[in-house]
């Protein structure tokens, strides 16, 4: 006996995961009342202060299974089309769970570490990126955009003789050029990187909601005239709002002409390169100095995984390297005989996280399971869903489609027949959306397209069927007719 204390055991994985799995299977059937419209009965059940003494593993898992999981968030419901993030498909979720224990970190030479790099390569290929693009995983598109802008900043300031990552920014005036429809994580990245959110110049969009290239050129010319250092031109390959794809080649050529880094934000849309109908819209992707994609959006990985790819990972190093720490550097020999001889690919020096889950395994698992053809079939299906909504709305006498979908987002509204006055339509469609999400199981979002309020279904859910697509349109017509007294 050593006299050291022994604390209670916490149960086995197989025992608890089986029960959690059964609860998740039940949750995923969505045959219970909608958690969003109930009077939040679970809040009382969960209220309570920090326990002095634990209830133990058994009771904790029981509460998880009985109270928390059934009152989760209905994003995985096949009728949910409100976000551009999706619920995970089954295999990547299981893979993520396994990684939590079998490789709680991505560094050191484990099988998980190996597929971290391999899956980045597969993902780049899947998205039509050239082999010279090397990546690092991040928690989401927000951080991936931050990394790419950090690399752009590093590169742009190096051109002006400054190591921005090490020495800071000096007094150089800078600009990042992105369309008004670009994701706001670009502004936030600029803020975090010390460039300032206001350095992002909002470039107007055309009728298709794509960046106006003439306006972009004019802004670059004005910046040059004013002595502004152009840090990056950002094109979005699939805007979050409407799935619009900026003209990549024109943007990339302008970036080169003005000595700016060229970034492609493909957080949502880059997997569309798998659809031959859409691939031509991504022409010019090879000009990118950096590109991001979020497997936790269209690819169905569990939330918490995006990839930032750059032409040259040295720029990420310069921007984000972690200064040496004894407790990390000291223990590795650099040999590759055993897992702990080396940290392996030094991802932690290319991003803002040291500890990080092994995220590649989720991407690996879904690509292994479905293959390129399986992923392509689903991407094409989702694009067909959006096109179907567009077609049904165009053909219907009382609906209007505001946009021909480029990706899997549609934007439609109820207008009545004869069409009601424009000033009444925003309010009618807002009321329609409110009733839709309260009375039915459908849950698209709304957005504004050319200052008009529209209903915006975004199809990224692996589980959505054709009946859910036509069913949504039918319900919009039914509620619209009631509201309009038709």
Residues contributing to the site for ligand PLP (CB under 6 A): 84, 140-142, 145, 183, 185, 236, 240, 265, 267-268, 294, 306
Question: Smallest distance, Å, CB 147 to ligand PLP?
Answer: 12
Q: Contact, 311 vs 289, CB < 8 A?
A: yes
Least distance to ligand PLP from the beta carbon of 246, Å?
11
Q: Which residue has the tokens 């409407």?
A: 242
Cβ(372)–Cβ(276) under 8 Å? no
How far lies 436's CA from each of 81, 327, 403, 431, 473, in Å? 12, 56, 21, 9, 11
Instruction: Say how far apart CA 416 and CA 396 lie, in whole Å.
Output: 10
Cβ proximity to ligand PLP, 284 vs 302, nearer residue: 302
Nearest alpha-carbon partner for 34 in 431, 439, 430? 439
Q: Which residue's CB is nearer to ligand PLP, number 306 or number 350?
A: 306
Rounded-to-integer distance, Cα 482 and Cα 486, Å: 6
Hey, is 354 helix, strand or coil?
A: coil
Give the DSSP letter of residue 474.
H
Supply the minimum distance, in Å, between the C-beta of residue 84 and ligand PLP.
5
CB of 267 to ligand PLP, least distance (A): 3
**Closest to ligand PLP by CB, 124 or 425:** 124
Identify which of 359, 292, 295, 297 has the alpha carbon closest to the alpha carbon of residue 135. Answer: 292
103 vs 187, beta carbon nearer ligand PLP = 187
Report in angstroms how near the CB of residue 186 gets to ligand PLP at its nearest.
8
Q: Is 369 helix (H, G, I), strand (E, B) or coil?
A: helix
Q: Which is nearer to ligand PLP, 268 or 364 (CB)?
A: 268
- What is the three-class DSSP state of 80? strand
| Angstrom distance (rounded) from CA 446 to CA 429 | 9
We find the least distance from the C-beta atom of residue 181 to ligand PLP, in angstroms, to be 9
| CB-based contact 184:146 (threshold 8 Å) | no
Q: Which of 103, 27, 115, 33 is nearest to 72 (CA)?
A: 27
Among all residues, whose Cβ is closest to ligand PLP?
A: 141
Distance between CA atoms of 458 and 269, rounded to whole angstroms?
12
Task: Pick the closer one to ligand PLP by CB: 306 or 389.
Answer: 306
Alpha-carbon distance of 484 to 432, in angstroms, equals 10
Token pair belonging to 417: 């027949």
CB of 389 or CB of 458, closer to ligand PLP: 458
Shortest distance, CB of residue 163 to ligand PLP, whole angstroms?
27
Nearer CB in complex with ligand PLP: 165/266 = 266
Q: How far is the CB of 129 from ligand PLP (least distance, A)?
A: 16
Nearer to ligand PLP, 154 or 240 (CB): 240
Q: Which helix (H) or strand (E) holds 136?
A: strand 134-138
Minimum distance between the CB of residue 183 and ligand PLP, rounded to whole angstroms? 3
Phi, psi dihedral angles at 264 (to 5 degrees): -115, 115
């Amino acid at each position: 006996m050593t006299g050291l204390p022994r604390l209670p055991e916490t149960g086995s994985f197989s025992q608890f995961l089986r029960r959690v799995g059964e609860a998740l299977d039940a949750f995923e059937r969505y045959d219970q009342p909608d958690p969003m419209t109930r009077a939040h009965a679970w809040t009382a059940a969960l209220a309570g202060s920090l326990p002095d003494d634990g209830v133990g593993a058994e009771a904790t898992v029981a509460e998880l299974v009985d109270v928390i999981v059934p009152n989760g968030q209905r994003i995985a419901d096949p009728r949910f089309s409100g976000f551009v993030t999706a619920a995970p498909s089954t295999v990547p979720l299981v893979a993520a769970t396994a990684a939590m224990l079998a490789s709680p970190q991505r560094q050191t030479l484990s099988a998980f570490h190996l597929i971290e790099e391999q899956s980045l390569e597969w993902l780049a290929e899947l998205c039509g990126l050239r082999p010279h693009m090397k990546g690092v995983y991040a928690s989401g598109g927000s951080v991936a955009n931050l990394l790419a802008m950090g690399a752009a900043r590093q590169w742009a300031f190096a051109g002006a003789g400054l190591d921005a990552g090490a020495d800071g920014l000096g007094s150089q005036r800078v600009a990042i050029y992105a369309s008004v429809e670009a994701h706001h994580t670009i502004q936030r990245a600029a803020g975090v990187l010390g460039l300032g959110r206001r350095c992002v110049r909002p470039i107007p969009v055309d009728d298709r909601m794509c960046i106006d290239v003439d306006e972009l050129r004019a802004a670059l010319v004005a910046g040059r005239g004013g002595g502004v250092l152009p840090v990056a031109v950002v094109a979005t390959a699939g805007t979050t709002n409407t799935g619009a794809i900026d003209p990549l080649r024109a943007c990339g050529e302008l970036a080169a002409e003005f000595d700016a880094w060229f970034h492609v934000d493909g957080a949502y849309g880059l997997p569309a390169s798998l659809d031959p109908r859409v691939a031509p819209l991504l022409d010019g992707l090879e000009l990118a100095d950096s590109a991001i994609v979020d497997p936790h959006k269209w690819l169905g990985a569990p939330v918490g995984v995006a990839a930032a790819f750059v032409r040259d990972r040295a720029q990420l190093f310069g921007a984000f390297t972690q200064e040496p720490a004894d407790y990390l550097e000291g223990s590795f020999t650099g040999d590759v005989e055993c897992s702990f001889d080396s940290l392996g690919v030094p991802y932690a020096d290319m991003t803002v996280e040291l500890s990080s889950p092994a995220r590649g395994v989720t991407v690996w698992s879904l690509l292994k399971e479905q293959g390129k053809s399986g992923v392509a079939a689903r991407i094409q299906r989702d694009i067909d869903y959006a096109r179907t909504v567009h077609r049904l709305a165009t053909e219907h006498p009382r609906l209007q489609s505001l946009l021909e979908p480029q990706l899997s987002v549609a934007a439609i509204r109820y207008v009545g027949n004869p069409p009601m006055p424009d000033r009444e339509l925003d309010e009618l469609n807002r009321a329609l959306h409110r009733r839709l999400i309260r009375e039915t199981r459908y849950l698209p979002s709304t957005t504004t397209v050319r200052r008009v309020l529209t209903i915006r279904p975004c199809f990224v859910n692996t589980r959505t069927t054709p009946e859910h697509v036509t069913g949504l349109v039918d319900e919009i017509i039914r509620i619209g007719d009631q509201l309009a007294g038709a």
